[in-house]
Amino acid sequence: MKKIILVSSLFAAQMLLLPAFAAPTGSYTQSCRNIKTNIRPGLEPTLEAECLDKRGQWKYTRLVGYRSCNAIDNDNGRLVCRK
């Protein structure tokens, strides 16, 4: 019984922390890879990824302050914020 309570507690704690560090959803996830969030105290959160451009080339891109976006898209290899 103690194991079940411990596992349940750890799972609940993980679910509480996950939204703070998870990459946001959006259409960019279909054409971008290596998606990472970079959250450092005192700095705006940054979303980083490699996204396909119109020529099919992978481009490194980053979006500072992504949390204020209603949606995030890949515009020709660039992460862009829709508000």
Structural domains in the chain, CATH included, are 21-82 (2.30.60.10)
83 residues of the chain, pLDDT tens digit each: 555 554 455 444 443 344 456 788 899 999 999 999 999 999 999 999 999 999 999 999 999 999 999 999 999 999 999 98
pTM, two decimal places: 0.71
SS3 call for 61: strand
| 73 neighbors 28 (Cβ within 8 angstroms) | yes
| 70 neighbors 83 (Cβ within 8 angstroms) | yes
46-52/32-38 β-pairing: antiparallel
